[in-house]
Amino acid sequence: MPISALFFDLSGVLYQGDERLPGADHVIAQARRNNFILRFVTNTATKSRQEILQKLASLGIDARADELFTAPDAAQTYISQHQLRPFALVHPAIRPLFTHSESNANCVVIGDARDGLTYESLNRAFRLLMNGSPLVGIGDNRYFQDEHGLSLDAGPFIHALAYAAGVEPIIMGKPSRAFFEQVVRSTGLTAGQCFMVGDDVRGDVEGALNTGIGAALVQTGKYQPGDEGVLSQNFPCFANVSDIFKLIEY
């Protein structure tokens, strides 16, 4: 089936730190010329939507507000729909999404809070979970790549709390099937008409494939040698995002 929609991860695929990755601007421009539906799909939890869009614009990457799907937005929607009161361990940039008096919190939200993930804060979250509060994770990534190298992401902390409290985390963002399905629905297409490009073999590639979306891994960002062989499913692997049009049919 010809591909009609392209999903792009951001950090590690279109940019790294404050630098645009090779071909990123040209790929997006070419995709628009060929009438692809575009979605920018990210677990980034250290920037607001507006900051993400401003960063992409500053790098010459044409991304529009209605094309951006973030894990923090998905988590906020879930909490609002279920009328939950969060104790949120998140980065200050997205804290406005989870404003609430924490004295009567009835759920725990974990994101990339960096230095906010202390023993004291995690222990408070653990006690809420032990009293029956649900655990909502913003993404489930194991690590990310930044200017210092590979760094722990929120996933290990989410699973540590889940293990300690004996609960199943509710993951909002990649690799959650529900999150990918939400992005697919926004296109009006089937999963088989969509294609995901990412640097995370688990969060991007495996998550997409498990939802019926085609996927490719790029050897930039958090990619590590040997990632090509991690999954049982077959998928292409390219040097960078500029190679994507060597593969897809349109």
In-domain check, residue 165: yes
Residue of 159, 130, 129, 127 whose CA lies nearest to 143: 159
pLDDT surpassing 70 at residue 94: yes
In-domain check, residue 154: yes
Question: What is the domain extent for residue 136?
Answer: 72-172
Beta bridge partners of 86: 107
In-domain check, residue 26: no
In-domain check, residue 119: yes
pLDDT-derived band at 1, boundaries 50, 70, 90 = low
Instruction: For residue 24, count other CB atoms closer than 10 A to its CB.
Output: 24
Number of structural domains, the chain?
1
41, 8 Cβ separation under 8 angstroms: yes
Coil vs helix vs strand at 4: coil
In-domain check, residue 22: no
In-domain check, residue 205: no
pLDDT surpassing 90 at residue 102: no
Identity of the amino acid at 88: A
In-domain check, residue 59: no
pLDDT tens for each residue of 123-169: 999 999 999 999 999 989 899 887 788 899 999 999 999 999 999 99
Structure-block tokens of residue 79: 């909490």
Higher per-residue confidence, 198 vs 249? 198
Instruction: Verify cis geometry, omega within 30 degrees of 0, for the bond prior to 86.
Output: no
CATH number at residue 76: 3.40.50.1000
pLDDT surpassing 90 at residue 101: no
Residue with tokens 């979970």: 129
In-domain check, residue 160: yes
